[in-house]
């Protein structure tokens, strides 16, 4: 599945952003924990020298649901992220999945804890996030992207939607894992 989304850092008030999003279908609040792993024997899951991940493997706990995800990121000719091929499965036991991953020899790269306020429209999933150690973000993802659809056009439509919300923010061209890797307190030496 193609994942096309835009992540922005809030530069305005979190509560005002929640008020503006109240016009949409509220899906609830979820406590989320993402653990990203790398393989010490291969380079594809390791961040490059700039702290960018081109592929990532993640274990997620979101509310009472658990997911295992592999992503392959695609970049434009300026090295700006455009979309990801995302392969995700739902699991029934987070702890067992974590142990399996450890037995396979993968090592923990980073962990991200955050609270998500989730809203939906017919077209978008809109998530207002309070990320421990990073701050407040808004992520807007297009729910369905058809094969062959113009990704640049889809992203421009998402940008226009975000602007129409009137929420003070600045667009980021990296994800939360890369932001976390840039924080000195979260850098882990990867062999």
Q: For 117-169, what is each residue's pLDDT tens digit?
A: 999 999 999 999 999 999 999 999 999 998 889 999 999 999 999 999 999 99
Domains (range + CATH), the chain: 2-186 (2.40.320.10)
Instruction: Give pLDDT, residue 190.
Output: 60
- Average confidence (pLDDT) over 51-65: 93
Instruction: Give pLDDT, residue 188.
Output: 53
- Average confidence (pLDDT) over 29-53: 92
Residues above pLDDT 70, as percent of the chain = 96
Instruction: Give pLDDT, residue 113.
Output: 97
Mean pLDDT, the chain, integer: 93
Rounded Cα distance, 152 and 156, in Å: 6
Residue found under tokens 């889809």: 154
pLDDT of 186 strictly over 50: no
pLDDT of 50 strictly over 70: yes
- Average confidence (pLDDT) over 17-37: 97
Hey, what are 91's tokens? Answer: 């699991």
Rounded Cα distance, 84 and 5, in Å: 9
Rounded Cα distance, 138 and 124, in Å: 12
Full-model pTM: 0.91
Hey, what are 2's tokens? Answer: 């193609």
The DSSP call for residue 186 is G
| Nearest residue to 69 (alpha-carbon basis) of 90, 53, 52 | 90
pLDDT of 185 strictly over 70: no
């Amino acid at each position: 599945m193609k994942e096309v989304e835009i992540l922005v850092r809030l530069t305005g008030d979190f509560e005002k952003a929640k008020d503006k999003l109240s016009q949409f279908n509220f899906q609830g609040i979820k406590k989320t924990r993402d653990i990203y792993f790398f393989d010490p024997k291969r380079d594809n899951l390791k961040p490059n020298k700039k702290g960018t991940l081109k592929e990532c493997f993640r274990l997620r706990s979101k509310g009472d649901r658990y997911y295992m995800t592999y992503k392959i990121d695609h970049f434009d000719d300026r090295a700006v992220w455009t979309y990801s091929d995302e392969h995700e499965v739902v699991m029934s036991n987070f702890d067992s999945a974590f142990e399996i991953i450890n037995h396979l020899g993968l090592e923990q790269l980073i962990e991200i804890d955050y609270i998500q306020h989730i809203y939906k429209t017919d077209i978008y999933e809109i998530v207002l996030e309070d990320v421990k150690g990073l701050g407040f973000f808004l992520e807007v993802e297009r729910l369905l992207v058809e094969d062959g659809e113009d990704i640049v056009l889809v992203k421009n439509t998402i940008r226009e939607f975000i602007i129409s919300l009137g929420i003070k923010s600045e667009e980021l061209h990296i994800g939360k894992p890369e932001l976390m890797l840039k924080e000195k307190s979260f850098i882990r030496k990867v062999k």
